[in-house]
Chains A and B, each alone.
Chain A
Amino acid sequence: MRIKCPVCGERPLEEYAYRGDAKVQRPRTHAPDQANAWHDYVYLRDNPKGRQKEHWRHSGGCGAWLVVDRDTYTHEIFSVRLTKAARRRAK
């Protein structure tokens, strides 16, 4: 598998670190009524067979965190984009 880093170009898998599902949202407060939301955020992940947006980091390259739209079954990659802050840094 190769991922095309928007900063560095197409690079091999070994240069990247995988994190997982990019759609989980960190709860905005630590208020006690948010306990379930926190549990979901920290522990629960979908495990789709198919397309998913994921966080990857180009850890062996520019260090940017990327959102990779990938098929978990075929490993086809549909798009790779920088997160907002990484976009700003790249400028």
Chain B
Amino acid sequence: MSAQAYRLERGGLVERSKPLHFTFDQLQYDGYAGDTLASALLANGVRLVGRSFKYHRPRGIFTAGNYEPNALVELRNGARREPNTQATMAELFDGLEATSQNRWPNLSLDLLSVNSKLSPLLSAGFYYKTFMWPRSFWTKVYEPFIRRAAGLGSAAGANDPDRYEKAYAHCDVLVVGSGPAGLMAAEAASGAGARVILCEEHPRIGGALLTERIEIDGRPGQDWALDARSRLQASGVRIMPRTAVVGWYDGNTFAAMERVADHLAEPPAHLPRQRLWRIAAKQVVIATGAQERPLVFPDNDRPGVMLASAARTYVNQYAVRPGRRAVIFGNNQSMETTAHDLARAGVDIAAIIDPKDVVSSDISHVVRGQGVAVVRGGRSISGVKPSGRGAKTIGCDLICVAGGWNPSVHLISQRGMKPVWDNEIQSFVPPVTSGPGFICVGASRGLYSTESCLEDGYQAGLAAAREAGFKDVETATRTFTASGPEQGRVEPLWRPESGAKGKCFVDMQNDVTDKDVSLAAREGYVSVEHLKRYTTLGMATDQGKTANVPGLGLLAGDLGKEIGEVGTTTFRPPYAPVSLGVIAGHSRGPTWRPVRRTAFHGWAEEQGAKFIEAGLWMRWHYFPRAGEGFAEATAREVNQVRNAAGFADVSTLGKIDIQGRDAVELINRVYTNSFTKLPIGRARYGLMLREDGIALDDGTVTRFDKDRFFITTTTGEAGHVMEHLEYCHQVLWPELDVQMVSASDAWAGLAIAGPKSRDVIAELVDGFDVSNEAFPFLSAAEITVCGGVPAKLFRISFSGELAYELCVPYGFGDAVVRTLAERGARHGLVPYGLEALGIMRIEKGHVAGSEITGWATAGDLGLGWMVPEKKPHNYIGRAMAAREGLIDPNREVLVGLKSLNPSEKVPAGSHLIADGALNSPEADHGHVTATTWSPTLNAYIALGVLKRGRERHGEILRAANPLQKYDVMVEVADPVFYDPENARVRD
């Protein structure tokens, strides 16, 4: 066949000066810029493009838009391979590689089409019936069969190399759709002063102006659309082509997917592949148009059967003859338009089959009062036989089907509005054409003439602008002189006469036939939603855009009801397929979420630090030296802190500055312990509860002045505690005179710990006396360090050693840590990471996140001493903490655990089982929460929670870990393994 044998020599919107090369199933073809893959395939006479999902029937191109059920292909290859793409929506580009799918071994010889012979097995509800028994058949027979036979295309199996973006836009009026109605709405709204966004899912602006032969005020529709586009651009309308509005949400918020670079082989470096827009609009004009629906007759799925409007689109927009000789079959007068447009493009009109006698009497070749009986041909049709007695086969290679129109009611349906049936035009239309924030116009509300769409759009644009706040806008009408296609008279034709065998498809993508619908109705699935789920009608990737209404029509017929009484299914977002990539946007790989780095990060990187993620933070994990592994490095760091000095990054702790006359009152109301008598220049450990009496967080409270406090929280709860305190103040106790601000990011913090830490600190402070007498344990001061850097110095310890915490303004952090490392070196100072910090806290029996779990009370954590009886305040959690269940002596409380064999580890999560008992819920007395090798004690130790644990020190238990098939005997001990007198911190 010669190249593009079906291409017209003139007309259309393809650029003949820009030829493009592409392949389909490895064969080379040519097309033009402006083509879709579908139009280019048709131009080359390619009719067979895929196999159907269930029966592997040969399928061709059925539509010219986003409602295509059949022509699904794989685009590109390698990491960019994209399965299940509608050939009718894929813009052609040079070098495009397209492949058919769902066939084996190849498209024209598909061995799995034997499924068609098995069709009794595959009828409605077959999943529910066939695969129920025998059970063993499931894994051996059914599942492999289904996996082999079903499925559409295959995923790339490699990381998507392209970028995706999310973006936000705001406007007074959003116009969805750029047909005649949408263009006029945008023009009118913009002229009234409104900020307008116009979204069009196709690459060109114009909608039906591009696909139909329309004339407006003497101008051809395609030219008129170009003029309108220029006018809109000049008036500042934001035109967004290739952008499908896919969802409508609360507050007139819209989701729209822009296919930025789908029409290019690869996105250029500065562009994403796709963009997901969130558009906030004061008003929306829904101008989404209408889609033609098919008719249900035998073999209506064969390649060569096509919607009549699609055939018109191919000749008018793409200058492609979809066939050489056409039969037109339908229930409305648009068959005449089809005959005109095709004949004008040189397609022979073999016949118009007109069972309802709607075609004007002056049209020739009309077969009135008959349906379609037999479609001849398999992979490509060769003729059609009308149903009348003695009718002869009419030779043709194209059957154009005109079953009436479905206004695109998807968006209003998403908002919970149920479309209603309009018997006059045989269409579901919106129940109201306008409401708060929206107006439906043109074909989307059932208006089909070009003139009425233009006028409707114009008035809606003015009304939308007025509603959006441009109150001076006056109602005006504008009239147009236009000609174009009309539906004209339309008659119901849900189950045409045929008297022939052959499958009549309702949902082509999911291979649902009229028999499946009738079977479902007979079996009692008479609700539309049940019908859908039982037959899978409308549940394919096209969401039944062509299938739903014919399905309803058949069901109504079977039930003897009107179609409006049967109801309609609910359309849910998204209106068009949205890739997972664009939903993820930048949130993948290294940009999955923000990374927080402390002021010391750069310095630590230079030192070869290993980092560990803690929430969003990158924290120091450990600092390996040459030849050291993880265990050696962390043990060395611990030993150095215990014997000399080390420093750790504690910048990630939450810090809140609380000031005001009632600051101490607020603090007393949120912590269990009392701070009334905390002297200025002193810090104290504090515990917060939740209102239900469970421990929330712990940290330090420092008083720098009578009315000025500085508190710290754990890293993980920093944000939560801030929110909690603001709730307490703003909602519970607004009468308190207090102000607070998060200072977490303002201050970089270092813990400097070890017997030599005083000597190290003395190297930094500007003439401040850090002797034990002048600055004892739990002191705090605002000083300067390193020659004038403002600092907060605390003498507090988490490691159990003499220790300090030093906070400096974030911007000084890097300079200070370098000075510290340099001046501390002569005292043996080393950096230590989160691992060493964790080891030392277990040695010291301090609780952390693995113990403050959200079900532990102060008593459980061994912090009962922080809950004084005599405190007068009705503090958060006090009342509920006194509940019987929370003070039960049988509760699991914090204990230390020593491995009986010091060289056997105690896995975290192990359950604590009474010695001699078998594993059982009754014998389970607690579990291990944190575990470590202790370099200090030269033994494996752990923390855990144990029923009545404080009375059981010295008892031998079995730590059972059935998951790891590992048991170890442990001795219950005091949780403070190291320096239980706490003398070292006071030295």
Q: Which residues of A contact B (CB under 8 A)?
A: 1-2, 12, 17, 19, 22, 26-30, 32, 34-35, 38, 41-43, 55, 57, 59, 63-65, 75, 83-86, 88-89
Docked complex Cα distance between A55 and B731 (Å): 9
A41 contact set on B, CB distance < 8 A: 691
On whether the beta carbons of A64 and B730 are closer than 8 Å, the reply is yes
Chain B residues 870-910 with CB under 8 Å of chain A are: 874, 878-880, 882-883
Docked complex Cα distance between A2 and B726 (Å): 22
Given the contacts A27-B879, A35-B879, A42-B692, A85 and B729 also touching, CB distance less than 8 Å: yes
B734 on the interface (CB 8 Å rule)? yes
A29 contact set on B, CB distance < 8 A: 874
Interface membership of chain B positions 920-938, coded 1 if the CB is closer than 8 angstroms to chain A and 0 otherwise = 0000000000000000000
Q: What are some 6 contacts across the A-B interface (CB < 8 A)?
A: A1-B253, A35-B879, A57-B726, A83-B731, A85-B731, A85-B734
Which chain A residue has the least Cβ–Cβ distance from B883? A35
A75 contact set on B, CB distance < 8 A: 250-251
On whether the beta carbons of B251 and A1 are closer than 8 Å, the reply is yes
A43 contact set on B, CB distance < 8 A: 692
Which chain A residue has the least Cβ–Cβ distance from B737? A88
B278 contact set on A, CB distance < 8 A: 12
A19 contact set on B, CB distance < 8 A: 727
The listed residue with most B CB atoms (<10 A of its CB), out of A30, A55, A59, is A30
On whether the beta carbons of B727 and A65 are closer than 8 Å, the reply is yes
B188 contact set on A, CB distance < 8 A: none
Chain B residues 444-485 with CB under 8 Å of chain A are: none
Docked complex Cα distance between A1 and B280 (Å): 10
Interface membership of chain B positions 489-506, coded 1 if the CB is closer than 8 angstroms to chain A and 0 otherwise = 000000000000000000
On whether the beta carbons of B691 and A65 are closer than 8 Å, the reply is no
B727 contact set on A, CB distance < 8 A: 19, 55, 57, 65
Given the contacts A1-B250, A65-B726, A89-B739, A38 and B732 also touching, CB distance less than 8 Å: no
Docked complex Cα distance between A41 and B726 (Å): 19
On whether the beta carbons of B880 and A42 are closer than 8 Å, the reply is yes
The listed residue with most A CB atoms (<10 A of its CB), out of B729, B731, B733, is B731
On whether the beta carbons of B726 and A63 are closer than 8 Å, the reply is yes
Which chain A residue has the least Cβ–Cβ distance from B876? A26
On whether the beta carbons of A30 and B878 are closer than 8 Å, the reply is yes
Docked complex Cα distance between A29 and B446 (Å): 65
Interface membership of chain B positions 730-770, coded 1 if the CB is closer than 8 angstroms to chain A and 0 otherwise = 11111010010000000000000000000000000000000
B422 on the interface (CB 8 Å rule)? no
B879 contact set on A, CB distance < 8 A: 27, 30, 34-35, 38
On whether the beta carbons of B723 and A17 are closer than 8 Å, the reply is yes
Which of B250, B732, B882 is within 8 Å of A30, CB to CB?
Answer: B882
Which chain A residue has the least Cβ–Cβ distance from B879? A30
On whether the beta carbons of A26 and B732 are closer than 8 Å, the reply is yes
B253 contact set on A, CB distance < 8 A: 1-2
Docked complex Cα distance between A88 and B736 (Å): 11
Which chain A residue has the least Cβ–Cβ distance from B736? A85
Docked complex Cα distance between A43 and B690 (Å): 13
B739 contact set on A, CB distance < 8 A: 89
Docked complex Cα distance between A40 and B731 (Å): 18
A1 contact set on B, CB distance < 8 A: 249-251, 253
On whether the beta carbons of B734 and A84 are closer than 8 Å, the reply is yes
Which chain B residue has the least Cβ–Cβ distance from A63? B726
A22 contact set on B, CB distance < 8 A: 731
Docked complex Cα distance between A63 and B879 (Å): 28
Given the contacts A38-B880, A75-B250, A89-B739, A83 and B874 also touching, CB distance less than 8 Å: no
Q: What 13 additional pairs, Cβ within 8 angstroms, besides A2-B253, A55-B727, A65-B730?
A: A1-B253, A12-B278, A26-B691, A35-B883, A38-B880, A42-B880, A57-B727, A59-B723, A64-B730, A75-B250, A85-B733, A85-B736, A86-B730
Task: Sort A-B residue pairs by CB-CB distance and give the 9 closest, nearest first.
Answer: A85-B734, A84-B734, A30-B879, A65-B730, A85-B730, A75-B250, A83-B730, A1-B250, A30-B878
Docked complex Cα distance between A49 and B543 (Å): 30
On whether the beta carbons of A2 and B691 are closer than 8 Å, the reply is no
Given the contacts A35-B879, A57-B723, A65 and B731 also touching, CB distance less than 8 Å: yes
A57 contact set on B, CB distance < 8 A: 723, 726-727
The A/B interface has a contact count, at CB < 8 Å, of 63
The listed residue with most A CB atoms (<10 A of its CB), out of B278, B727, B733, is B727
Docked complex Cα distance between A32 and B731 (Å): 24
Interface membership of chain B positions 229-268, coded 1 if the CB is closer than 8 angstroms to chain A and 0 otherwise = 0000000000000000000011101000000000000000
B251 contact set on A, CB distance < 8 A: 1-2, 75
The listed residue with most A CB atoms (<10 A of its CB), out of B280, B723, B730, B883, is B730
Interface membership of chain B positions 715-729, coded 1 if the CB is closer than 8 angstroms to chain A and 0 otherwise = 000010011001101
Docked complex Cα distance between A35 and B619 (Å): 44
Chain B residues 169-194 with CB under 8 Å of chain A are: none
Which chain A residue has the least Cβ–Cβ distance from B252? A2
Minimum CB–CB distance for B501 against chain A, Å: 51
Which chain B residue has the least Cβ–Cβ distance from A3? B251
B729 contact set on A, CB distance < 8 A: 85
A83 contact set on B, CB distance < 8 A: 730-731, 734
The listed residue with most B CB atoms (<10 A of its CB), out of A29, A32, A89, is A89
On whether the beta carbons of B734 and A32 are closer than 8 Å, the reply is no
On whether the beta carbons of A42 and B691 are closer than 8 Å, the reply is yes
Docked complex Cα distance between A12 and B880 (Å): 36
Minimum CB–CB distance for A38 against chain B, Å: 5
Which chain B residue has the least Cβ–Cβ distance from A10? B280
Docked complex Cα distance between A45 and B723 (Å): 21
The listed residue with most B CB atoms (<10 A of its CB), out of A28, A63, A75, is A63
Docked complex Cα distance between A26 and B406 (Å): 56
Minimum CB–CB distance for B570 against chain A, Å: 17
Minimum CB–CB distance for A35 against chain B, Å: 7
Minimum CB–CB distance for A11 against chain B, Å: 11
Docked complex Cα distance between A65 and B729 (Å): 10
Docked complex Cα distance between A63 and B727 (Å): 10
Which of A17, A28, A64, A65 is within 8 Å of B874, CB to CB?
Answer: A28
Minimum CB–CB distance for A4 against chain B, Å: 10
Which chain B residue has the least Cβ–Cβ distance from A64? B730
B734 contact set on A, CB distance < 8 A: 83-85, 88
B736 contact set on A, CB distance < 8 A: 85
Minimum CB–CB distance for A22 against chain B, Å: 8
Docked complex Cα distance between A1 and B249 (Å): 8
Docked complex Cα distance between A59 and B721 (Å): 12
Minimum CB–CB distance for A21 against chain B, Å: 12
Interface membership of chain B positions 674-692, coded 1 if the CB is closer than 8 angstroms to chain A and 0 otherwise = 0000000000000000011
Interface membership of chain B positions 787-805, coded 1 if the CB is closer than 8 angstroms to chain A and 0 otherwise = 0000000000000000000
Which chain B residue has the least Cβ–Cβ distance from A37? B879
Docked complex Cα distance between A2 and B249 (Å): 11
Docked complex Cα distance between A26 and B875 (Å): 11
A89 contact set on B, CB distance < 8 A: 730, 739
Interface membership of chain B positions 273-312, coded 1 if the CB is closer than 8 angstroms to chain A and 0 otherwise = 0000010100000000000000000000000000000000
Which of A2, A32, A85 is within 8 Å of B280, CB to CB?
Answer: A2
Which chain B residue has the least Cβ–Cβ distance from A75? B250
Which chain B residue has the least Cβ–Cβ distance from A27? B879
On whether the beta carbons of A32 and B874 are closer than 8 Å, the reply is no
Docked complex Cα distance between A42 and B882 (Å): 14
Minimum CB–CB distance for A9 against chain B, Å: 12
Chain B residues 647-692 with CB under 8 Å of chain A are: 691-692
Docked complex Cα distance between A1 and B251 (Å): 5
Which chain B residue has the least Cβ–Cβ distance from A67? B731
Docked complex Cα distance between A57 and B692 (Å): 21
Minimum CB–CB distance for B941 against chain A, Å: 37
Which chain A residue has the least Cβ–Cβ distance from B741? A63
Chain B residues 209-247 with CB under 8 Å of chain A are: none
Minimum CB–CB distance for B358 against chain A, Å: 43
Docked complex Cα distance between A84 and B691 (Å): 22
Which chain A residue has the least Cβ–Cβ distance from B436? A76
The listed residue with most A CB atoms (<10 A of its CB), out of B733, B736, B880, is B880
The listed residue with most A CB atoms (<10 A of its CB), out of B280, B723, B736, is B723
Docked complex Cα distance between A43 and B693 (Å): 12
